[in-house]
């Protein structure tokens, strides 16, 4: 005890002496002790998990410990994560750090991960992670169990799916448009045609494919003595069943069976319905995340693309854990199938087919809309294409698909929704509406419609009557000006509204009619076109007759035409009538959707309808010669749109007014690219659609036809321009019998 006391006294004495010495010599630096502190674990773990959430697998690898890198390369690391995500049909993950613990050179953490998948819903796991300190930085000791505990030890995921047949697509009356079935590719071997039986063969093929005998014959006429394979088209097993014996007994024909997504009649509304093809390499990752294996055929356009989820359904799926030798270790998850659904379109099948035929030999579009609902009854775009050619199993595909895609005709383009054109004289309807709503004009306001418009100093703009060598139309009311499609009247309106109402006045009316913006149709791709405010008197004059920088689509035109007919309501165009589940229950049904109202009064609508009725019935109407004899009450407007790249485009837009319960009134818009004048080309095509709709068939030949769907030629041979699916003749240039239509432009 005494020794301890003495030791304590000695220590205290030394401390006192040290303190005194520091005071005597001034402040001395305090001794520093170096302490090594490891970084926080939480920040490292959360960064690693954040990279996983964002799919930045290569950056995750940079956070892996050196010992783990010796076990897996960066490429294999990334591939493992990608394949695991794909097999799990992973759409997203959510992570949460639950806890962590740090030692001097190692650490542990626990996190929760929620897997959100396309086929298996959501499931979660809690996972433990270890870290090692390397150069004062925490690194993750990685193994596959950090993704799913079941994958520890080198296991991996394997997905198996069983898909049902894709849903069918129907016309509004229940007739099939697209189905999964057995089909046959039809072809002719010219030098095997039996003597005396060519006519019988052609009649059978015409009946099966809907093509004329002339067009089929023209496809091999120049190669009669060869054994070439000349594709004709496709037919379903059901369609050929009754004629099978007779067809197979004939020489010169080849039938090649294939199982396929089959498009009837060589494609009904092909650009609107779309087609199937294999998943492109750049699409694989997205579609595998949706539960696809990657080798399926998917909708690449139109309804097939829009309704992919409904038409394809979801397969029955099993998710396994397998070892390195592909032996199943356990079932991780299972999912029941979501059966495909069927689509019924708004298309009138017979009307659609006749609309397509109405465009044979022409480049352009036809669209038919119910005026009170927005239903699209027909949507034809020419040149068309055969969607069956996208099926590799179809023997005709090898012969024709490359030409279809590369012949420069833009066959896949839906000219109804994606073709944008100057409006030409059909825009005069909007100019008249803007004039009447400006309080500067009345329906009875008059203007002298001379041969030329000369209100701009040094400028002279001609009327369409000049090229037709007709006298000037003289003094016309505004209503008569629309009926006569007088250019000087509407040059004047464009200039006057620009000067008195401002640069955006007429443009805003055009926008109020739905131009310059998308219509809102979702089922097919569309462009918005453009309406540009005029910057000068010259621009305003051109805008008055629908020229200048203006671009519109046929779908926009038919929508405002329908609105003129129904009292002013712009409806959203739609082409799906209903979607039906596998047990026959409608999961979606069509409902009209009013989007907006035209910016016009009832009085203005009445005046416009008077002018459009005069187009058809008045002696000065631009379509009276072509449509005036029809008993159906029709309203219309011709249009000839100047085209800087070639001949003018021919427009006609109009509507019926019959008030029939069995035949709802329709609006019809026609454009023929480089066709010339609307009255000579657009109006006859419009008439054919009207006749088909109300009488069930066309009644009057086009001026350029020798018989329905066959173009008149100067030679004894009458042929139709071969539709998609026919091999062009060996000679270059126009097909035999094709007539190029270039009438003189007019209003």
Mean pLDDT of 320-338: 93
Indicate whether 742 pLDDT > 80. no
Quick: pLDDT tens for 698-718. Answer: 999 999 999 999 887 643 333
Which residue's structure tokens are 């490891």?
A: 38
User: What is the model's pLDDT at position 289?
Assistant: 83
Mean pLDDT of 390-409: 94
User: What is the model's pLDDT at position 299?
Assistant: 97
Write the DSSP string, 70-106.
TTS-HHHHHHHHHHHHHHTTEEEEEEEEEEEEE-SSE
pLDDT band at 738 (very low <50, low <70, confident <90, very high): very low
Quick: pLDDT tens for 503-534. Answer: 999 999 999 999 999 999 999 999 999 999 99
Quick: pLDDT tens for 242-295. Answer: 999 999 999 999 999 999 999 999 999 999 999 999 999 999 988 988 888 888
Indicate whether 680 pLDDT > 80. yes
Higher-confidence residue of 719 and 616: namely: 616
Quick: pLDDT tens for 617-626. Answer: 999 999 999 9
Mean pLDDT of 300-313: 97
Quick: pLDDT tens for 576-613. Answer: 999 999 999 999 999 999 999 999 999 999 999 999 99
CA quadruple 413, 417, 420, 424: dihedral, nearest 10: 130
Percentage of residues in the chain having pLDDT higher than 70: 90
List, in order of start, the domains of the chain with CATH numbers: 41-154 (3.10.450.100), 169-345+387-406 (no CATH), 424-710 (3.40.710.10)
Q: Comparing C-alpha atoms, which of 371, 370, 373 is closest to residue 348?
A: 370
pLDDT band at 564 (very low <50, low <70, confident <90, very high): very high
User: What is the model's pLDDT at position 713?
Assistant: 60
User: What is the model's pLDDT at position 36?
Assistant: 45
Indicate whether 359 pLDDT > 90. yes
User: What is the model's pLDDT at position 362?
Assistant: 96
Indicate whether 719 pLDDT > 90. no
Write the DSSP string, 361-407.
T--EEEEEEETTT-BEEEEEEES---GGGG-TTSHHHHHHHHHHHHS
Q: Which structure tokens are listed for 93? A: 């993950």
pLDDT band at 37 (very low <50, low <70, confident <90, very high): low
How far does CA 156 lie from the centroid of its chain?
39
User: What is the model's pLDDT at position 668?
Assistant: 98
Q: State the DSSP code for 682.
A: I
């Amino acid at each position: 005890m005494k020794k301890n006391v003495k030791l304590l006294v000695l220590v205290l004495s030394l401390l006192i002496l040290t303190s005194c010495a520091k005071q005597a010599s001034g402040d001395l630096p305090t001794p520093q002790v170096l302490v090594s502190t490891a970084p926080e674990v939480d920040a490292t773990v959360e960064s690693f998990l954040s990279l996983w959430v964002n799919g930045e697998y290569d950056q995750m690898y940079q956070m892996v410990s050196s010992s783990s890198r010796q076990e897996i390369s960066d490429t294999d690391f990334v591939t493992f994560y990608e394949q695991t995500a794909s097999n799990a049909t992973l759409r997203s993950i959510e992570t949460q750090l639950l806890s962590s613990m740090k030692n001097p050179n190692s650490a542990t953490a626990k996190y929760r991960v929620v897997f959100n998948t396309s086929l298996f819903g959501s499931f979660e796991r809690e996972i433990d992670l270890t870290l090692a300190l390397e150069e004062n930085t925490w690194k993750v000791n990685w193994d596959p169990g950090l993704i799913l505990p079941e994958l520890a030890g080198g296991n991996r995921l394997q997905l198996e799916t069983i898909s049902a047949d894709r849903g069918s697509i129907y016309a509004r009356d229940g007739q099939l448009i697209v189905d999964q079935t057995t089909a046959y590719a039809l072809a002719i071997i010219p030098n095997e045609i039996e003597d005396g039986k060519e006519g019988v063969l052609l009649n059978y093929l015409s009946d099966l494919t809907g093509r004329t005998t002339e067009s089929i014959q023209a496809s091999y006429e120049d190669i009669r003595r060869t054994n070439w394979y000349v594709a004709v088209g496709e037919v379903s097993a059901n369609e050929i069943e009754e004629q099978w014996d007779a067809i197979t007994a004939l020489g010169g024909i080849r039938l090649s069976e294939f199982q396929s997504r089959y498009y009837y009649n060589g494609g009904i509304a092909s650009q609107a319905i779309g087609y199937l093809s294999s998943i492109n390499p750049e699409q694989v990752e997205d579609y595998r995340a949706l539960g696809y294996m990657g080798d399926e055929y998917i909708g690449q356009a139109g309804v097939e693309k829009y309704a992919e989820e409904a038409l394809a359904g979801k397969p029955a799926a099993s998710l396994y854990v397998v070892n390195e030798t592909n032996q199943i270790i356990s079932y991780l998850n299972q999912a029941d199938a979501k059966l495909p659904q069927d689509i019924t379109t708004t298309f009138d099948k017979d009307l659609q087919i006749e609309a397509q035929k109405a465009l044979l030999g022409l480049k352009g579009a036809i669209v038919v809309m119910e005026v009170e609902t927005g239903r699209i009854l027909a949507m034809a775009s020419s040149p068309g294409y055969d969607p069956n050619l996208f099926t590799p199993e179809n023997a005709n595909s090898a012969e024709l698909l490359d030409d279809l895609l590369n012949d420069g005709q833009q066959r896949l383009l839906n000219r109804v929704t994606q073709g944008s054109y100057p409006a030409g004289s059909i825009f005069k309807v909007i100019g008249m509406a803007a004039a009447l709503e400006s309080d500067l004009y009345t329906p009875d306001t008059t203007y002298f419609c001379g041969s030329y418009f000369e209100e701009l100093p040094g400028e002279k703009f001609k009327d369409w009557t000049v090229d037709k060598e007709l006298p000037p139309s003289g003094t016309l009311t505004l209503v008569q000006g629309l009926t006569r499609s007088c250019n000087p009247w509407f040059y004047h309106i464009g200039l006057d509204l620009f000067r008195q109402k401002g640069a955006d006045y007429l443009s805003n009316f055009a926008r109020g009619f739905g131009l310059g913006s998308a219509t809102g149709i979702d089922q097919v791709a569309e462009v918005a076109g453009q309406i540009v405010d005029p910057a000068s008197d010259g621009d305003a004059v051109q805008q008055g007759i629908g020229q200048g920088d203006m671009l519109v689509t046929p779908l926009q035109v038919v929508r405002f035409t329908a609105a003129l007919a129904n009292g002013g309501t712009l409806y959203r165009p739609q082409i799906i009538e209903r979607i039906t589940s596998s047990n026959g229950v409608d999961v979606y049904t069509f409902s009209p959707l009013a989007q907006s109202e035209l910016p016009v009064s009832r009085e203005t609508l009445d005046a416009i309808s008077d002018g459009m009725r005069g187009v058809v019935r008045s002696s000065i109407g631009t379509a009276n010669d072509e449509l005036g004899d029809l008993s159906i009450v029709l309203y219309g407007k011709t249009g000839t749109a100047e085209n800087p790249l070639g001949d003018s485009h021919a427009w006609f837009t109009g509507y019926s007014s019959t008030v029939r319960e069995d035949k709802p009134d329709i609006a019809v818009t026609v454009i023929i690219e480089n066709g010339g004048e609307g009255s000579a080309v657009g109006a006859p095509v419009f008439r054919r659609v009207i006749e088909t709709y109300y009488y069930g068939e066309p009644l009057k030949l086009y001026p350029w036809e020798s018989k329905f769907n066959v173009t008149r030629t100067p030679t004894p041979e009458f042929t139709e321009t071969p539709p998609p699916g026919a091999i062009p003749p060996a000679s270059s240039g126009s097909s035999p019998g094709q007539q190029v239509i270039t009438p003189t432009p007019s209003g």
